[in-house]
């Protein structure tokens, strides 16, 4: 990464966060035109299942990254966290593709479960995902623009200790939402 990125981590974090949240809300609210997107019915049906699988694997990578850094295995930590980030990006791209074409999935279960379980879990999942974005961008940019020795002089560790558990909870709640939508109460 360039020295510009190194010197402007906070600004780049803000720009990436705003752009990411804008794209997500644009897709969910139907502002992204679908005419240019290919419609692959098989892929659209598979995406929720693929995303649940990627979420589970990402949880494993985050836990592994956490374990590696506690054991001072920095390169393994880096690879594990980058793998989790890659899965998150793939998850998000597939999710955005599906929601842009089909819109958000409607909960088909009983109204009581929707009101008291599904919607609160979904709300927490979405809130944590949004909170995680700037934290993840920040630690990622610090990690990519500094040497291992230099990282210890940044807030990478402090912010990472906040971001990792929130990221884990968000992924785990995403899997619970998937189970409620596609396994327990399929529409």
Provide the pLDDT for residue 35: 85
What tens-digit pLDDT sequence spans the chain (187 residues)? Answer: 578 999 999 999 999 999 999 999 898 888 888 888 899 999 999 999 999 999 999 999 999 999 999 999 999 999 999 999 999 999 999 999 999 999 999 999 999 999 999 999 999 999 999 999 999 999 999 999 999 999 999 999 999 999 999 999 999 999 999 999 999 999 8
Q: Is 144 helix (H, G, I), strand (E, B) or coil?
A: helix
Residue with tokens 């906070």: 10
Give the residue among 59, 82, 92 at the shortest CA–CA distance from 143: 82
CA distance 57 to 49: 12
What pLDDT shows up at residue 55?
97
Predicted TM-score of the model (pTM): 0.91
| Contacts (Cβ under 8 Å, ≥6 apart) of 129 | 170, 174
**pLDDT value for 143:** 92
């Amino acid at each position: 990464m360039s020295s510009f990125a190194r010197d402007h981590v906070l600004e780049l974090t803000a720009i990436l966060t705003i752009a990411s949240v804008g794209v997500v809300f644009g897709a969910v609210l139907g502002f992204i035109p679908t005419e240019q997107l290919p419609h692959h019915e098989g892929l659209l049906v598979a995406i929720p299942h693929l995303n649940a699988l990627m979420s589970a694997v990402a949880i494993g990578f985050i836990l592994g990254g956490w374990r590696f850094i506690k054991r001072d295995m920095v390169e393994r930590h880096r690879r594990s966290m980058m793998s989790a980030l890659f899965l998150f990006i793939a998850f998000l791209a597939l999710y955005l593709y599906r929601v842009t074409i089909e819109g958000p999935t409607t909960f088909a279960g009983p109204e009581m479960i929707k009101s008291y379980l599904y919607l609160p879990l979904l709300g927490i999942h979405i809130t944590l995902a949004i909170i995680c974005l700037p934290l993840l961008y920040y630690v990622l940019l610090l990690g990519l623009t500094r040497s291992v020795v230099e990282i210890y002089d940044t807030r990478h560790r402090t912010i990472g200790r906040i971001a990792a558990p929130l990221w884990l909870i968000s992924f785990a709640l995403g899997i619970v939402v998937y189970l409620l939508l596609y396994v327990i109460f399929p529409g």
